[in-house]
Amino acid sequence: MSHNTCVSVDDDDLPPVKSVRDLGVIVSHDWLPTLHATNIVGKAHKRSAAIYRAFTSRNVDLLVRAYVTYVRPIVEHDSLACSPYTVKYIDNIESEQRRFTKRLPAVGALTYAERLRHLDIPGLELRRLHADLLYCCKVVFGYTDLQASDFFEMAPLSNTMGTYTSCIRSEVLL
């Protein structure tokens, strides 16, 4: 739809907009995730700052549990529908977890990867990858209304050790 197109409902013209929120995901007119990523990082930062203000204890396990419970769902909400695909957006979203773990006592001096390993929490990019793979499995094995053939090309296997007689070709049709 061009920007000059006028949309009307019951003879009332609707004003053109630059972005719209649908089910919590902000979709901009250029389809870039900039507004959505900025919005969720801002919300997550406010929530993590509230955790530090609310808890006088600096017990690392307690703070990490609060982060996982109250902050991580914000940055993971609708990650299948609006997953960041450039390094800029991935780093922007990952920055909140990086910032939170840096403030934790006893692990703040470690690198981000070392902090994640020490705290036994995965990076947000890895969690998005797991969610994407889980959804692909659901599509392939028929647990959704989507047809696997619309997204994947199945290749027959001549020798298999399991009960599955086909695999997904490496060329994804998206």
pLDDT by residue, tens only, the chain of 174 residues = 455 677 888 888 888 888 888 887 888 888 777 888 888 889 999 999 999 999 999 999 999 999 999 999 998 887 776 777 778 888 888 899 999 999 999 898 999 999 999 999 999 888 888 888 898 889 888 899 988 888 887 776 655 565 555 666 545 444
Would you kindly state where each structural domain of the chain is located, as residue ranges?
7-145
In this structure, which amino acid lies at residue 31? W
DSSP one-letter string for 70-139:
HTHHHHHTTTTTS---SHHHHHHHHHHHHHHHHTSTTTTTS-HHHHHHHHT---HHHHHHHHHHHHHHHH
Return the pLDDT at 162. 58
Q: Quote the CA–CA distance of 135 and 6 in Å, as a whole number.
A: 37
Return the pLDDT at 163. 57
> 19-22 and 25-28: which strand pairing?
antiparallel
Q: Quote the CA–CA distance of 38 and 149 in Å, as a whole number.
A: 35
Return the pLDDT at 107. 93
Return the pLDDT at 172. 47
Task: Note the pTM of the prediction, 2 decimals.
Answer: 0.73
Q: Quote the CA–CA distance of 101 and 61 in Å, as a whole number.
A: 11
Q: Which residue is it, tokens 């053109």?
A: 16
Among candidates 73, 105, 77, 82, which has minimal Cα distance to 35? Answer: 82
Among candidates 131, 27, 13, which has minimal Cα distance to 123? Answer: 131
Listed in sequence order, the residues at least 6 apart from 15 whose beta carbon sits closer than 8 Å to its beta carbon are none
Q: Quote the CA–CA distance of 51 and 61 in Å, as a whole number.
A: 13
Return the pLDDT at 173. 44
Return the pLDDT at 83. 72
Return the pLDDT at 50. 96
